[in-house]
Chain A
């Protein structure tokens, strides 16, 4: 079984796989994480706000994103973002959005729903006394959130946020359905062109495993490190 393996094809395509494929995957993951957490935190604040309208809208958004498959969301955004862009910018022609930008938007919007739930739990885990203390000191809502609540919430939820990011890293492989060249897409192209499905897909699985496992190991170490003794 192993005799027929062509390890050469992996070696030959390494530059292409990593320079094109992995770069795309990692860039997409980093951007979606960054913007997703920002948008997710905003959504969490909206959900927890006392304005019914805001919390309803945010709640509906989060529930919608969590009820539909990511593949479907990818299709939605890929085909429809240009129309939405034109509607927002009041243009006649659809706005040109490339594959990369469309993917960043898709994953940001999708993951924001999950980051929102994490941040919401994080914010709610901060004792209300902190908020009252902030107000008592004369800080307004934004200052209290920005200087007192959110920093603590982030610190508490950091491991969960990072775990979600590892899941995001794995989910980026789904851009395959749009024939976009991420790491898996690049490997598929080589696999189909050279007829070496087994070698390439096994290689991809191993690389993803090593990276994900290593990252989760780092998260576990981080979790142990930032645990404050005595604090629940």
Chain B
């Protein structure tokens, strides 16, 4: 028995005496270091942020930013490589899947607001858009009041749907609100005449119209109802991970590397149909690039 004690004690002592200089990794960073993989949540039809191109590959503006973030994480953790797993999410599933650990970063078109910050965290805003509606030109819908008593649609789990439900009550519009599973389904409802208007962030609407069978028959409302700053989502209460992600995005902005990425997706032809959306950087977003912020308060983006 005694011959065993010394080696055992020595082994234990070695195990305990880790180099004190190494930082204690917690949370998501620890998970990535231990498993060597990171799971990115992506969308299927949020053009041009996160979607499937015509070869069923996941591409997009938010995806490119996320991949830069993954590079930064790789450097921070000093790993040779990090395996990137992709997990499709919808507007309705993205927050629960982030909360339950299925995805580590959500790279899409998710609005950052104070209410959501109770469930998840956001990094620096990567786009600023506004809530509008799209309708067929033939239905002659010019303002919200024109939709009184009509059927309108938005996507489940979005801020737009929430706003629409509340506004419908506040202004007593008596609209029939339908919640679609995703943007493509919602757009299809207006296309087939089941709904008169689809409320969504304007950039997503521009993309849907540009890729539609007959772009000329659509019109997008001129009124902007709410300001929607997009942010890449991550888990709450994980400050170490958030710091790495924030730094990565801030670095992109400060170094100007964000500009070619933005151009690639908004000012050049993009898959699946090679259409150029031609949306220059808005003044609100330029402000964010100059002064990176992850605020969930719309007032910060005026």
How many residues from B make CB contacts under 8 Å with A?
29
Known contacts being A98-B102, A179-B44, A179-B93, is A193 close to B87, with CB within 8 Å? Answer: no
The yes or no answer to A61 lying at the interface (CB within 8 A) is no
**Contact between B182 and A179 (Cβ–Cβ < 8 Å)?**
yes
A93 and B185 CA atoms in complex are apart in Å by 34
Indicate which residue in A78, A82, A181, A197 contacts B101 across the interface (CB closer than 8 Å): A82
Q: Find residues 201-237 in chain B having any chain A CB closer than 8 Å to their own CB.
A: 213
Known contacts being A20-B56, A179-B181, A195-B191, is A96 close to B102, with CB within 8 Å? Answer: yes
**Contact between A82 and B191 (Cβ–Cβ < 8 Å)?**
no
Q: Find residues 89-108 in chain A having any chain B CB closer than 8 Å to their own CB.
A: 93-99
Measured between beta carbons, the chain B residues less than 8 angstroms from A20 are 56
Indicate which residue in B87, B93, B188, B213 contacts A192 across the interface (CB closer than 8 Å): B188
Q: State the Cβ distance, A97 to closest chain B Cβ, in Å.
A: 6
Q: State the Cβ distance, A186 to closest chain B Cβ, in Å.
A: 10
**Contact between A93 and B31 (Cβ–Cβ < 8 Å)?**
yes
Known contacts being A99-B87, A179-B44, is A16 close to B100, with CB within 8 Å? Answer: no
A222 and B89 CA atoms in complex are apart in Å by 42
Measured between beta carbons, the chain B residues less than 8 angstroms from A180 are 88
The yes or no answer to B184 lying at the interface (CB within 8 A) is yes
Measured between beta carbons, the chain A residues less than 8 angstroms from B193 are none
A80 and B39 CA atoms in complex are apart in Å by 18
A98 and B89 CA atoms in complex are apart in Å by 11
* Tally of contacts, chain A with chain B, CB under 8 A: 59
Known contacts being A99-B88, A179-B88, A192-B185, is A94 close to B191, with CB within 8 Å? Answer: no
The yes or no answer to A73 lying at the interface (CB within 8 A) is no
Most buried by A among B90, B93, B101, B185: B101
A192 and B191 CA atoms in complex are apart in Å by 11
**Contact between A189 and B93 (Cβ–Cβ < 8 Å)?**
no
A81 and B96 CA atoms in complex are apart in Å by 12
The yes or no answer to B149 lying at the interface (CB within 8 A) is no
The yes or no answer to B36 lying at the interface (CB within 8 A) is no
- Tell me the dominant secondary structure on chain A's binding face: helix
Q: State the Cβ distance, A85 to closest chain B Cβ, in Å.
A: 9
Most buried by B among A16, A83, A97, A195: A195
Known contacts being A79-B100, A93-B31, is A98 close to B87, with CB within 8 Å? Answer: yes
Measured between beta carbons, the chain B residues less than 8 angstroms from A197 are 188, 192
User: Chain B, 88-105, contact with A by CB distance < 8 Å: what is the 0/1 string?
Assistant: 111001001101111000
The yes or no answer to B239 lying at the interface (CB within 8 A) is no
A168 and B213 CA atoms in complex are apart in Å by 37
**Contact between B102 and A189 (Cβ–Cβ < 8 Å)?**
no
Q: State the Cβ distance, B113 to closest chain A Cβ, in Å.
A: 22
Measured between beta carbons, the chain B residues less than 8 angstroms from A97 are 102
The yes or no answer to B283 lying at the interface (CB within 8 A) is no
The yes or no answer to A56 lying at the interface (CB within 8 A) is no
**Contact between B101 and A93 (Cβ–Cβ < 8 Å)?**
yes
A192 and B112 CA atoms in complex are apart in Å by 28
**Contact between A96 and B39 (Cβ–Cβ < 8 Å)?**
yes
Measured between beta carbons, the chain A residues less than 8 angstroms from B52 are 189
A98 and B102 CA atoms in complex are apart in Å by 6
**Contact between B56 and A80 (Cβ–Cβ < 8 Å)?**
no
Measured between beta carbons, the chain A residues less than 8 angstroms from B101 are 82, 86, 93-96
Q: State the Cβ distance, B37 to closest chain A Cβ, in Å.
A: 9
Measured between beta carbons, the chain A residues less than 8 angstroms from B182 are 179
Known contacts being A20-B56, A193-B184, is A178 close to B213, with CB within 8 Å? Answer: no
User: Chain A, 25-36, contact with B by CB distance < 8 Å: what is the 0/1 string?
Assistant: 000000000000
Question: Footprint of B on A, CB under 8 Å?
Answer: 16, 20, 78-83, 86, 93-99, 177-181, 189, 192-193, 195, 197
List of 6 A-B pairs having minimum Cβ-Cβ separation, nearest first: A94-B101, A82-B100, A192-B184, A94-B100, A79-B96, A82-B101
Interface CB pairs A-B, < 8 A, 17:
A79-B100, A80-B100, A81-B100, A82-B101, A94-B99, A94-B101, A96-B102, A97-B102, A99-B88, A179-B89, A179-B90, A180-B88, A181-B88, A193-B184, A193-B272, A195-B188, A195-B213
Interface contacts beyond A93-B101, A96-B39, A195-B213: sample of 19 additional A-B pairs, CB < 8 Å, sorted by A: A16-B56, A79-B96, A81-B100, A82-B100, A95-B101, A96-B31, A98-B87, A98-B102, A99-B87, A179-B88, A179-B89, A179-B93, A179-B182, A181-B88, A189-B44, A189-B184, A192-B184, A192-B185, A192-B188
